[in-house]
Structure 1
Amino acid sequence: MGAAKQVESVSSVLKVFGILQALGEQREIGITEIAQKLMMSKSTVYRFLQTMKTIGYVSQEEDSEKYALTLKLFELGSKALEHVDLIALADKQMRKIAEKTGEALHLGAFDDDAIIYIHKIDSRYNLRMYSRIGRRNPLYSTGIGKVLLAYRDEQEVRQILDPIKFEPHTANTITDHQELMDELATVRENVVGEDREEQEEGLRCLAVPVFDRFGVVIASISISFPTIRFEENRRDEYIEMLHQAASSVSSQLGYHNYPKCAEVTVK
């Protein structure tokens, strides 16, 4: 990008935020007022406002033709704040489990048609799962993905899954939509999702939901094991540790009815 083009881009960004600030200072404002306040031409203000209106950040009153901010900026800021708090709260609980087990812990969230890792604690062993914050993995073949899907409305889940091609990462990967839907019912009943070497051979994973103050699942905490270190007779113990951790995080986010049985409300 040339220097002149770069300066123009920076100028446009400054103009957009100037308009947003002007809109935030009063409930409704017209193009002329904004142009005078920011010392910009009315045609420039109009062009930016129409773009912001198109993407949902600004609304226009039919009678007065004045403009106002929508709640979209508030929603965006709330999501960012929520994740900052979530990571800080989850880190403390995840480290407790890591100290007891030595295994890898992940915090994952929904990201369009996949999961994304937003926090992790590495295993202390040399033989461990490779992962990184920001990495995306499929919804259908991961414990976290199953948890994030299980607490959504069935119709919404089908809409999310319909365009996704189920790739058989291993011989255990679920490749049938209905088979996955049936498993999601089990996830809700037991409040735990499981990856049984479905994403990667030799790797087991258990995951549980984290709820926000409205009782909506916003993330999932998981523990991952190489199969040679997974002790089946300790499975319930691992799940209980995860439930305690996720319940604590959910409680601090304002949700105090963490489920431990089939009594779960689907979003």
Structure 2
Amino acid sequence: MQANNKTVIKSMQILNLFIKHSKLTFTEMLTYSEIPKTSLHRMVGSLEEMGFLAKDKDGFYSLGLLFLQFGQLVANRLDIRIIAKPIMEQLRDDVEEAVNLIIKDGNEAMYIEKVDTLQPVRLYTSVGRRSPLYAGACSRIILAYLPEEEREAYLEHIELEQIGIGTITNKEKLREILAESKREGYTVSISELENYTTAVSAPVFNHKGEVIAGLSIAGIEGRYGAERLPILIKKVTSGAHLISKKLGYNIP
């Protein structure tokens, strides 16, 4: 059993070399791993046979296609709500405001997770609630980071309706705000979905660097003054970055 464990450890040692190197020759693996030549030759052969390593015509080894299958399985099975919930709870406890997680569903945004504030006066939202992508910080940050062609197709066909007293109904102004949001990495909304409320939001990315959700801090407008807003922006951005990182996104 102990010998088998050592074999597994050495096999992982070989595979870990490819985290930093896309391709390696057998000689390079021998140098980097410091595994005896005979043992290395046997293990490399086994890893190649099982599909964990692939060898090209020039004698260079790289990770095999099997890793693509494993990687896709991991990505597909990650439940963003499970990953995000403890981060959202910590964020709620830190700022004492409600925290929401929203995804794009068709041409709408949908709340998929929330943690409520303990404030006596609060903004009520519910999991499953839908809103247009153009209105509200959490919805709009997703729209801001969509591929340009997809975003423009949406803007061309959508009719901007007044929902709250602060809803943006001018498409040119909306385009300017979307560009600014993408440039700054966050967005702020005031009375767009509910009157006298404010929300700050940052984007959440998957392992491919695609926007898949928006994370927001939201509450009553009176608690979001000019002196506090930069703190909330920093907090929500950090929370979104942490979720993205746990989803495999390599933050630049």
1:232 aligns with 2:221: no
| Cα separation, 1, equivalents of 2:146 and 2:223 | 32
Q: Is the 8 A contact 1:142 1:198 kept in 2?
A: yes
- Give the TM-score taking structure 2 as reference length: 0.67
Give, as a single letter, the amino acid of the residue that structure 2 aligns with 1:217: V
1:94 aligns with 2:88: yes
Runs of at least 4 residues of structure 1 off by over 6 A? 77-80
| Cα separation, 1, equivalents of 2:75 and 2:169 | 32
Q: Is the 8 A contact 1:146 1:194 kept in 2?
A: no
| Cα separation, 2, equivalents of 1:158 and 1:149 | 10
Instruction: Find 2:109's aligned residue among 104, 112, 115.
Output: 115
Q: Is the 8 A contact 2:190 2:221 kept in 1?
A: no
Bigger mean CA deviation after superposition, 208-217 or 242-251: 242-251
1:199 aligns with 2:193: yes
**Gap runs ≥5 in structure 2:** 1-72
**Gap runs ≥5 in structure 1:** 1-76, 259-267
Please show how residues 30-179 of structure 1 align to structure 2 within 5 Å. 81-82=77-78, 84=79, 86-179=80-173
Give, as a single letter, the amino acid of the residue that structure 1 aligns with 2:94: K
Please name the residue that 1:12 is paired with: none
Instruction: Find 1:246's aligned residue among 229, 234, 240.
Output: 240
Percent identical: 28
SS at match of 1:162: helix
SS at match of 1:223: strand
- Residue 180 of structure 1: how far off its partner (Å): 0.9
| Cα separation, 1, equivalents of 2:195 and 2:115 | 21
SS at match of 1:224: strand
Q: Is the 8 A contact 1:113 1:161 kept in 2?
A: no
1:185 aligns with 2:179: yes
Q: How many residues align?
A: 182
- Residue 171 of structure 1: how far off its partner (Å): 2.9
Q: Is the 8 A contact 2:75 2:207 kept in 1?
A: no
- Residue 222 of structure 1: how far off its partner (Å): 0.2
1:185-206 CA-to-partner distances (Å, cap 9, x unmatched) read: 1001110021111111110000
- Residue 78 of structure 1: how far off its partner (Å): 7.8
